[in-house]
Amino acid sequence: MNIKILDFDHFDSKMNMPLQQYLIEHHLPKIGSYHVVAKRGDTIIALGMLYSNHVHPHRDYILFHKVQNDLEAKLLIKLINNLEKKSKTRGLQLILNSRNNSLCEQFESHRFHIVRTTYLIKLKEVTEIDTDIKTIKTKKLNQMSKVEWQELKKLFHKNYKRFHEGVNALAQEFSPDLLFENLKNINVMESTILLNHCSQLCAYFLIGGSDENSIEVAYLGGIDEDHMEDYLFFFQNELRTLLKKYKTVYFEADDSDDYFSALMQKLNCDLSDSYYTLIKDLGE
């Protein structure tokens, strides 16, 4: 039976129910502003969704999902083309599992390109550190002065702009204050800054969400990569402290971020679980 590509503009009154059932069955979010489906008979076998991300509004996001491997390349391209026509930003972004080489190649053949690889890291232990912990000075975010808060926001803004400029321009348009306010669920009780010998902020370790068993490292970074070893010791010490309270510490580490990359190498992390971020500018 032939496979047909059907976009939202041509959905009939009977199409909404199968679409909703597909979303529920495959645990997909109901966030799409525009949908395109591939159908074999009355059965949806693949779906493309266009949606917006209020945190990163400079691109339209694509979610692509399929349940069978027999969607021909030309049909996939037709599905993508229908989504592209509805992009208001004229820029697209999507995430694909890095193990799905065939699908990645198909998107790349359609002028999408990989801008970063993100590794999903879960830690249950961190090896002992040789350096004397007493030699470092730290402070929790809820203990910082107004001056330290401003320094933290400036440093975070600098690093965010540097490591994310290839994907989104958020830091270019937001001030340090606004960018930091835009962050969600930063735990000021657990998040920590590192102070140098002059008691000035030189690195940060920001904590995100948590539950009874696990806790997330949301962001980390420093002022000068020449002092990376000092920062790595600080990061490792914070991880060890968290693992005394939680069974698992997890984080998403971009290969474009020098600080996360150095930490993954230092800890010899398992890099088998990762995904690609791909983008395409429709003006190209």
**Residue pLDDT, tens place only, 168-227:** 666 566 788 888 887 778 999 999 999 998 889 999 999 998 899 999 999 999 998 899
pTM: 0.85
Sheet holding 248-254, edge to edge: 3-7, 34-40, 43-51, 60-66, 91-97, 274-281, 113-123, 248-254, 214-222, 201-210, 192-195, 137-140
| 108, 102 contact by CB (below 8 A) | no
- 3 state SS of 219: strand
Ranges of beta strands (E only) in 197-268 are 201-210, 214-222, 248-254
Rounded to an integer, the average pLDDT of 134-159 is 91
pLDDT in tens, 236-248: 999 999 999 999 9
Burial class (CB in 10 A: 0-12, 13-18, 19+), 46: buried
What mean pLDDT is predicted for residues 82-98? 91
Please list, in sequence order, all residues whose beta carbon lies within 8 angstroms of the beta carbon of residue 111, skipping any fewer than 6 positions away: 280, 284
First to last CA, the chain: 36
Instruction: Report the range of poorest mean pLDDT among 3-12, 83-92, 162-171.
Output: 162-171
